[in-house]
Amino acid sequence: MARFIVVGAVLSLCSHPALAVNLDQARALAREAIAAQGGHINPGVVQLRFSRGVGARVADGKLSLPAKPREAADLLSRAGWARAHHVDDAELNRQRAVAEADWGFPLPDLTQEFRLTLNPGETVEAVLTTLNTLPNIDYALPVPLPAPEPNPPSYQPQQRYLNPTDGVNVQPVWAWPGGTGINVRICDIEYSWNAAHRDLPPITLRGPQWVDPDGVVEHGTSVLGEMLARNNGWGTTGGAYEAQGYFAGVQTSAGGYNIAAAVTAAIPALRVGDIMVIEQQMLGPIDVIPVEWLRPTYDAIRQAVGNGIIVVAAAGNGNQDLDAAIYRTGNNGHWPFLAANDSGAIMVGAGAAPAANAGTDVVRSRLSFSNYGSRLNLQGWGEKVYTTGYGDLYQTEGSTLWYTSIFSGTSSATPIVASCVAQVQSVHKQLRNRPLSRDELKAVLRVSGRAQQAGRFPVSQKIGPMPDSVAALFVLFGPGDCNTNGRPDGIDILTHLVRDRNDNGRPDSCEGLCLSDFNSDGGVDGRDIEAFFRAWSAAQTPADVNEDGGVDGADISEFFDAWSRGVC
């Protein structure tokens, strides 16, 4: 729609209709422009372009025109105007001249594009409506908001290590009090992580700035993702995604490679019952083994454990029998894998993933690379783990949205176990107002875990059971689930979902107290009692007066017994 209108002495081609645009038409154009952007517009600014040849300029926030149409003189005269382009007019004119020579026809004059910042209280629709009534304007438009970066798909269905069937069963507990890990802190002790990854929450650095040993800033990214990745509907989700995250680098510019220093740097940030995850292994006499083999690291771990911190450590990927004689000789008499020298850390081995995730052996059987022995306490998936980092699964938007489907080793197993530890601890802290000790946690997770299975390697090559959050919490809060809601009765009582007025650990409803049928004979609901007293007041026989199978003497006796004890 083109029209010719004279402003001052300027004759110009404009995209508005040849006839004047009335207020209703101008408002319709404004609403159409806003709707075309789905309403996702900057509420404080608009943009317009005057027609070629108008000669508008901006200086000190003021717009100068050969003539200001009276329809919007106040709008055009105020401060708040700015050029729409960063390069100067001479450069814009040069660009246009080159482009016109290529296209073979005139192009719009971009020196005539401007932005206006709105005053408080003004709306984009109202300002655009006014601008749309003016002559010699090619367009007046809202300014779009930046479009969100494309998100990756959700890989949570592939994170079967979190689910009830194949994993550590943390997903159902997310809905329980404290089940997101919100009451605990987790510190990862290892190499670097991509702090800019969009699926990770803010992570607090402890100690000096880390230095990455190999230039691949992904190992820590993957570990943190297993535990802390946001539950946002895309990407992956951490097993304890609302725990507060910390990181201490084992290699720093200040002290070189020093695991013990990272451990002690992390201790002040952690409270009694919080979790420290050690994602390292070291070269031993044959192959890689747990870092406790080095006395300074062992001593630092014992110091952390002695401060009430729950340490969860990788057993390493050296296929070593830690019960072998070589690990109880030499080493200056430091033999940390003997039961008598247990550091208190939870040691984690690597088990096979299930067939649904293309596991390479019988689920929960020892993987070939995992170290093993009586020192190991628990296992997690050592293969086929979906998490943040590396980019083999997804890398479309760059390293801040990289994902992997093949994270592996005791490196992948350890944060799975740590997520379960953090979740159980968080629930217990919220409901019992105290953290579990290391011995309590270790014991309950082992006794309630899913047993190691034999695959290519026998169960005598111990890596421990795989923990189960739900099962552990049933041990801690009692085995009953009388309302079959999947939670222990003890948790339902503590959260006041059900009542336990006789304080025996069972919901009143499960004992028939104050409900319809104390001794399971089909009677004694409210109508029964009412009918009984009507009959009694009329001197009638009180046995089953409404013929519903209840309200005999035993019923009445049981009701009043419960009432006298204050449970009804």
State the DSSP string of 408-448.
-HHHHHHHHHHHHHHHHHHHHHHHHSSPPPHHHHHHHHHHH
What are the structure tokens assigned to 471, written together? Answer: 């099962």
d(CA 524, CA 517): 5
Q: Give the model's pLDDT for residue 16.
A: 45
d(CA 399, CA 39): 31
Per-residue pLDDT of 378-425, as tens digits, reads 999 999 999 999 999 999 888 999 999 999 999 999 999 999 999 999
Residue type, 510: C
Alpha helices (H) in 434-552, listed in sequence order: 438-448, 469-477, 489-494, 526-537
Going by pLDDT thresholds of 50, 70 and 90, the confidence category of residue 513 is low
Under DSSP, the state recorded for 142 is: E
Per-residue pLDDT of 239-282, as tens digits, reads 999 999 999 999 888 888 899 999 999 999 999 999 999 999 99
Look up the pTM and report it. 0.75
Per-residue pLDDT of 122-135, as tens digits, reads 999 999 999 998 88
d(CA 347, CA 464): 9
Going by pLDDT thresholds of 50, 70 and 90, the confidence category of residue 222 is very high
Whether residue 17 has pLDDT greater than 60: no
Under DSSP, the state recorded for 487 is: S
Q: Give the model's pLDDT for residue 225.
A: 97
Asked whether the beta carbons of 312 and 421 are under 8 A apart, the reply is yes
The Cα angle at residue 363 between residues 362 and 368, in degrees rounded to 5: 65
Burial 265-293 (b: 16+ CB within 10 A, else e): bbbebbeebbbbbbbbbeebeeebbbbbb
d(CA 463, CA 382): 11
Per-residue pLDDT of 414-463, as tens digits, reads 999 999 999 999 999 999 999 999 999 999 999 999 999 999 999 999 99
Going by pLDDT thresholds of 50, 70 and 90, the confidence category of residue 510 is confident
The average pLDDT across 162-186 equals: 96
Asked whether the beta carbons of 269 and 185 are under 8 A apart, the reply is yes
Helices (H) and strands (E) in the chain, counts: 13, 21
Residue recorded with tokens 């390697």: 457
The alpha carbon of residue 432 and the mean position of all alpha carbons in its chain are separated, in whole angstroms, by: 25
Residue type, 38: G
Residue recorded with tokens 């006794």: 447
- Number of CB atoms found within 10 A of residue 430's CB: 17
How many residues are there in the chain? Answer: 568
Q: How many CA atoms lie less than 13 Å away from 209 in the CB half-sphere?
A: 3
> Which is more confident, 180 or 17?
180
Whether residue 554 has pLDDT greater than 80: no
Residue whose C-alpha is closest to residue 219's, from 191, 241, 196: 191
For residue 263, what is the enclosing H or E element?
helix 259-266
Residues 6+ apart with CB under 8 A from 295: 332, 334
d(CA 137, CA 558): 89
Asked whether the beta carbons of 320 and 292 are under 8 A apart, the reply is no
Whether residue 517 has pLDDT greater than 80: no
Q: Give the model's pLDDT for residue 459.
A: 97
Whether residue 549 has pLDDT greater than 70: no
Whether residue 160 has pLDDT greater than 90: yes
Q: Give the model's pLDDT for residue 146.
A: 83
Residue recorded with tokens 């209709």: 17
Per-residue pLDDT of 94-125, as tens digits, reads 999 999 999 999 999 999 999 999 999 999 99
- List 188's β-bridge partners, or say none: 247, 277
The average pLDDT across 333-362 equals: 96
Asked whether the beta carbons of 107 and 100 are under 8 A apart, the reply is yes
Asked whether the beta carbons of 189 and 280 are under 8 A apart, the reply is yes
> Which is more confident, 356 or 531?
356
How distant, in Å, are the alpha carbons of 95, 357, 568 from that of 102? 11, 56, 91
Whether residue 45 has pLDDT greater than 50: yes
Torsion sign (Cα): 134, 138, 139, 144: negative
Give the chain's mean pLDDT.
Answer: 87
Q: Give the model's pLDDT for residue 527.
A: 52
Residue whose C-alpha is closest to residue 463's, from 367, 343, 337, 359: 367
Asked whether the beta carbons of 209 and 253 are under 8 A apart, the reply is yes
Q: Give the model's pLDDT for residue 22.
A: 86
d(CA 192, CA 149): 25
Q: Give the model's pLDDT for residue 212.
A: 84
DSSP three-state, residue 493: helix
The alpha carbon of residue 381 and the mean position of all alpha carbons in its chain are separated, in whole angstroms, by: 20
Asked whether the beta carbons of 294 and 263 are under 8 A apart, the reply is no
d(CA 421, CA 428): 11
d(CA 302, CA 438): 12
The average pLDDT across 149-178 equals: 92
Give all domains of the chain, ordered by start, each with its CATH number: 3-144 (no CATH), 156-477 (3.40.50.200), 489-564 (no CATH)
In the chain, what is the greatest distance between 2 CA atoms, to the nearest angstrom? 113
For residue 261, what is the enclosing H or E element?
helix 259-266
How distant, in Å, are the alpha carbons of 30, 53, 76 from that of 112? 20, 9, 14
The average pLDDT across 458-471 equals: 97
d(CA 370, CA 402): 27
Residue whose C-alpha is closest to residue 423's, from 173, 203, 164, 202: 173
